[in-house]
Amino acid sequence: MTLEQILEDLKTDRVKKCILDSDMYNEMDDQYALAYCLGRPDKINLLSINAAPFDNGRTATFEKGMEASYREIFKILDVCGRNDGSIPAYEGSRVRFTAENDWAPIDSPAARNIIKTVKESDEIVYILTTGCCSNVTSACMMDPSITDNMCVIWLGGHLFEHPDCAEFNLIQDYAAGQLLLNLDIPLILLPACGPVAGGTQELKFSIDTFRSIKGDGKAQKFFRDDFVMQFAEEDHVLNNISEWRRVIWDIAAPGVICHPESYTFKIIPAPIFGDDHKYAFDSTRHKIIYMEKLDADVITKDTCEAISSL
């Protein structure tokens, strides 16, 4: 598909085949993104979930981050009543791309899952990539033919107006991000933040947003009460929780599938992630789809309604 055809495809009523590639244990937003996917079966056919690595101090190493993410997937599937094996999970990369290995792709069950799923699909597969892009970059390099039948939706980098591009997901495996942007593949880039409004940083939940999740089931109690209080305690805001705001970045990826009309997209030459952690631009490069802004109210409300329906 061309990029124009992908933007048109997103507007159709067809339920979209998706893989969620996520650093599930890194923060609290990946868990909401997974629940969002599960709560919108009218929009998303979640085929599988890949564990992405990370290293932010919550785990000892990059590899341990992936392993913790893999375990967290099953925890959230259980919370959502879907831990029956119908949605398989796969371990991702344990290492970063390196010059010592000539920037070779990193073989993993997650990368092979992407390849197998896309090659066997009779329609486009959307890869919702909400962590570092090691798995998806590896898959595209291992079998470039899959890029004819897939689209990567990646939360990576900052808005172009930001002084640098070194957003968290990107810097977890910076070379993987550089390589991904150099590949001529269908890509929707969802930037994080910048000095102007518009990035995924707009997806801010207040305590009232969390409390708008309705119902008394296991999933509703977890995402409205228990899980929220755990992070509120970590943020030391329990005495002033009415003023608390938490950015739930990763719901932006399933939001593209559920509400594409709530995003402002632009087809542009692929930017370059420079070695100096700054953007560079070249008008002759292949094109990607870049998100300029989103309607946060629509996506946050739909997320809470999707969780309420679980």
The predicted pLDDT at position 266 comes to 98
The predicted pLDDT at position 197 comes to 83
Query: Do residues 47 and 87 lie in contact, with contact meaning Cβ atoms separated by under 8 Å?
Result: yes
Q: Is the pLDDT of residue 127 over 90?
A: yes
Of 285, 262, 51, 294, nearest to 183 by C-alpha is 285
Mean pLDDT of the chain: 97
The predicted pLDDT at position 51 comes to 98
The predicted pLDDT at position 195 comes to 86
Q: Is the pLDDT of residue 9 over 90?
A: yes
For 272, the domain range is 3-308
The predicted pLDDT at position 235 comes to 86
The predicted pLDDT at position 20 comes to 99
DSSP-derived pairing of the beta strands 287-294 and 263-269: antiparallel
Hey, what long-range contacts does 236-244 have (CB within 8 A, 24 or more apart)? 241/207, 242/206, 242/207, 244/206, 244/207
pTM for this prediction: 0.97
Percent of the chain with pLDDT over 70: 100
Provide the CATH number for the domain around residue 205. 3.90.245.10
DSSP 8-state class, residue 13? S
Residue 252 burial by CB count (10 A; 0-12/13-18/19+): exposed, middle or buried?
buried
The predicted pLDDT at position 196 comes to 81
Mean pLDDT of 82-108: 97
pLDDT category of residue 116 using cuts at 50, 70 and 90: very high
Q: Is the pLDDT of residue 110 over 90?
A: yes
The predicted pLDDT at position 273 comes to 98
At 145-177, the pLDDT tens digits run 999 999 999 999 999 999 999 999 999 999 999
The pair of three-digit structure tokens given for residue 115, joined into one six-digit string:
């390849």
The pair of three-digit structure tokens given for residue 45, joined into one six-digit string:
């056919």
Q: What angle do CA 42, 22, 55 make, to 5 degrees?
A: 165
The predicted pLDDT at position 234 comes to 84
At 27-66, the pLDDT tens digits run 999 999 999 999 999 999 999 999 999 999 899 999 999 9
User: What is the total count of domains within the chain?
Assistant: 1
